[in-house]
């Protein structure tokens, strides 16, 4: 593993604490607000801290593509607002957030899904989730690196790479995969380049990188969060969710971003029935595992005896049982092998057609853009083969998508097949056994959840013998966020697994 240069982190040492000895680095949203409230921290100081940290760590980790040149100005405005009013502004007020680069902003930042083809494109407005964050007083700090086109460019995939952001690195083990496609959001949260980041998931893109970078990721029920203004793949499967260091912080962000959006009308209306009165934070309960029925489906925990994962996951099940949960092993999800075979079960047939029509509509809605169609994106890559690594990565999925002609008979059949696989699979299993959740490692359950628009939360669960993080995901039926939050929070509180990444230790040690 590459040895870290002390010099790279020297600049961070002095920044680990802010004014008046306030320790910013691992501060939660609640602590940040206390700091704002008692005068030991300002939003401007917080933005400066993160900007310096990005400057120091990004040459190594490549987690961030752009920082917002207006972030300090917006932070100063938040500080002024706080001085004028008597507090009670909400937990996100004055807090910097990093957005995955496919989440559109109408500001100085570019929104490119990591691709050079979209550089200079101008969204007509902020994405729905960004409007909500700004209304809550959050400061947009910048755009996080991601697997280009949310890994929907070619089959080999890009493992944390984009033409705009370069190769992102896992801060725990630099040579290990950081996973994706919400790569930079996860790394940035892990390495405290921001306390709050957003990611997006179509099939695993929050759960996988959050797990592998030892942070908490929430993949909300499809439609709970608006997809308007986000570079799309599929209106059936896309969802936007928070990636943070703790369940508590992620849940507060979820509270801020859920809800109706006229620009994502059908999905946000359909999911609005799931949003609880009083929000999600009420489910952050220490006894949240008590009385829960948790399924352990076959086919996921395939770790050999003696491996760290085998031992640690068994210990976790035992501890959940001690907390009053019923852990039910040996459950079979019907047709699991078919569901996991996305190339042959109809998922790809549906996704490629959905991608073409929704991307073309996203591109035509832009106020200004160098590319206006998927065909032009393909042409762009052909014209920039070196910068876009065309030889190494290719663009087969883009080409296959371009060949589609809308949602025809074949696509409709594929979609109804997927709905049936979901209904007869996890949905039936959960109802039959009256489960509150099923648990699986990392993003292993993602394909099962993806085709049903179902939610999950991943929580840090351990570190392999070589130090690579792994997570435990709690997945459930559409609208199960309240109970998933109860279980994930209680699990996090009793296990307390997360530690700061190795590549940040030289700054983490310093106390003043
Ligand atoms: C202000 O709150 C922060 C966060 O809880 C704490 O660390 C700090 O000591 C407090 N400072 C004062 C002056 O009360
Ligand atoms: C957005 O991209 C343009 C190039 O088209 C660049 O000049 C500008 O600096 C970028 N914005 C930010 C905030 O980096
Ligand atoms: C693991 O250990 C258990 C109990 O000792 C044993 O029953 C099982 O067969 C072992 N599995 C493997 C794959 O070795
Ligand atoms: C799912 O499993 C059932 C029963 O095991 C089988 O009859 C059916 O053909 C399978 N469905 C698919 C799509 O493979
Ligand atoms: C697209 O369709 C054309 C014409 O049917 C075919 O020749 C080509 O192989 C297809 N490309 C891909 C990537 O499927």
For tokens 């059936």, the residue is: 236
Nearest residue by C-alpha to atom 6 in ligand 3: 305
Cross-strand bridge partners of residue 161: 167
Alpha carbon dihedral 30, 32, 35, 37, in 10-degree steps, equals -60
Question: What are the 10-residue block averages of pLDDT along the chain, 512 residues in total?
Answer: 36 43 86 94 97 97 98 96 77 98 98 98 98 97 98 92 98 97 98 98 98 98 98 98 98 98 98 98 97 98 95 98 98 98 95 98 98 98 98 97 97 98 98 98 98 98 97 98 98 97 56 22
Distance 32 CA to ligand 4 centre (A): 52
H or E element in which residue 30 lies: helix 29-37
**Contact indicator for 352, 395 with CB cutoff of 8 Å:** no
433 HSE (CA, 13 A, CB side): 25
Nearest residue by C-alpha to atom 2 in ligand 1: 35
Distance 305 CA to ligand 1 centre (A): 47
Taking the CA of residue 399 as reference, the ligand 5 atom at the shortest distance is 13
pLDDT at 18: 46
Distance 76 CA to ligand 1 centre (A): 20
The pTM for the full model equals: 0.94
pLDDT at 89: 75
Nearest residue by C-alpha to atom 14 in ligand 5: 400
The alpha carbon of residue 447 and the mean position of all alpha carbons in its chain are separated, in whole angstroms, by 16
pLDDT at 21: 55
Of 367, 389, 371, nearest to 379 by C-alpha is 371
The alpha carbon of residue 393 and the mean position of all alpha carbons in its chain are separated, in whole angstroms, by 23
Of 206, 455, 202, 454, nearest to 352 by C-alpha is 202
H or E element in which residue 96 lies: strand 96-100
Of 489, 436, 461, 441, nearest to 326 by C-alpha is 436
Parallel, antiparallel or unpaired: strands 139-144 and 96-100: parallel
**Contact indicator for 199, 205 with CB cutoff of 8 Å:** yes
From the CA of 303, the nearest ligand is 3
**What does the buried/exposed string (b/e) look like for 24-62 if buried means 16 or more CB atoms within 10 Å of the residue's CB?**
bbebbbeebbebbeeeebbbbbbbbbbbebbebbbebbb
ω into 24 cis (within 30 of 0): no
Catalytic site residue 205?
yes
Geometric angle at alpha carbon 494, from 318 and 479, rounded to 5° = 85
**Contact indicator for 144, 65 with CB cutoff of 8 Å:** yes
The residues, ordered by sequence, that sit 6+ positions from 461 with a Cβ below 8 Å of its Cβ are 211, 312, 313, 316, 441, 470, 471, 472, 495, 497
Distance 296 CA to ligand 3 centre (A): 18
Distance CA 364, CA 206 (A): 27
Catalytic site residue 214?
no
Q: 28-273+283-506 belongs to which CATH class? A: alpha beta
Provide φ and ψ at 154, rounded to 5°: -155, 165
From the CA of 112, the nearest ligand is 2
Distance CA 23, CA 381 (A): 45
């Amino acid at each position: 593993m590459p040895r870290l240069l002390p010099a790279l982190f020297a600049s961070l040492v002095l920044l680990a604490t802010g004014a008046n000895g306030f320790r910013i680095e691992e501060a939660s949203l609640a602590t940040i607000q206390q700091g704002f409230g008692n005068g030991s921290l300002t939003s401007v100081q917080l933005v400066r801290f993160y900007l310096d940290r990005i400057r120091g760590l990004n040459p190594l980790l490549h987690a961030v593509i752009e920082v917002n040149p207006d972030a300090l100005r917006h932070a100063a405005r938040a500080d002024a607002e706080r001085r004028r009013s008597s507090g009670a502004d909400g937990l996100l007020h004055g807090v910097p957030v990093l957005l995955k680069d496919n989440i559109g902003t109408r500001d100085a930042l570019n929104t490119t899904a990591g691709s050079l083809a979209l550089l200079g494109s101008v969204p007509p407005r902020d994405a729905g989730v960004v409007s909500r964050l700004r209304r809550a007083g959050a400061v947009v700090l910048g755009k996080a690196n991601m697997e280009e086109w949310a890994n929907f460019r070619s089959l080999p995939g890009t493992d944390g790479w984009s033409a705009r952001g370069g190769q992102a690195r896992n801060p725990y083990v630099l040579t290990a995969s950081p996973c994706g496609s919400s790569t930079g959001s996860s790394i940035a949260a892990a390495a405290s380049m921001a306390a709050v980041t957003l990611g997006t998931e179509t099939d695993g893109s929050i759960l996988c990188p959050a797990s592998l970078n030892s942070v908490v990721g929430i993949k909300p029920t499809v439609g709970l969060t608006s997809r308007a203004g986000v570079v799309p793949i599929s209106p059936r499967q896309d969802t936007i969710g928070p990636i943070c260091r703790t369940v508590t912080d992620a849940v507060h962000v979820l509270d801020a971003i859920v809800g109706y959006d006229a620009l994502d009308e059908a999905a946000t209306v359909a999911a609005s029935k799931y949003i609880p009165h009083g929000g999600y934070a009420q489910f952050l309960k220490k006894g949240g595992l008590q009385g829960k029925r948790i399924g352990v489906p076959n086919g996921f925990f395939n770790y050999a005896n003696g491996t760290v994962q085998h031992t640690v996951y068994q210990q976790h099940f035992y501890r959940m049982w001690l907390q009053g949960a019923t852990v039910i092993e040996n459950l079979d999800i019907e047709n699991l092998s078919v569901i996991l075979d996305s190339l042959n079960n109809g998922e790809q047939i549906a996704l490629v057609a959905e991608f073409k029509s929704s991307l073309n509509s996203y591109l035509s809605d832009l106020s200004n853009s160098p590319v206006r169609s998927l065909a032009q994106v393909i042409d762009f890559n052909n014209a920039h083969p070196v910068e876009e690594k065309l030889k190494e990565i290719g663009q087969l999925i883009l080409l296959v998508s371009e060949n589609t002609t809308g949602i025809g008979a074949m696509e409709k059949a594929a979609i109804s097949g997927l709905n049936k696989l979901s209904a007869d699979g996890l949905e039936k299993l959960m109802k039959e056994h009256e489960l509150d959740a099923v648990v699986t490692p990392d993003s292993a359950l993602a394909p099962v959840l993806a085709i049903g628009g179902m939610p999950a939360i991943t929580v840090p669960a351990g570190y392999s013998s070589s130090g690579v993080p792994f997570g435990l995901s709690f997945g459930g039926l559409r609208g199960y966020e309240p109970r998933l939050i109860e279980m994930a929070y209680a699990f996090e509180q009793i296990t307390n697994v997360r530690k700061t990444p190795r590549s940040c230790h030289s700054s983490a040690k310093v106390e003043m």
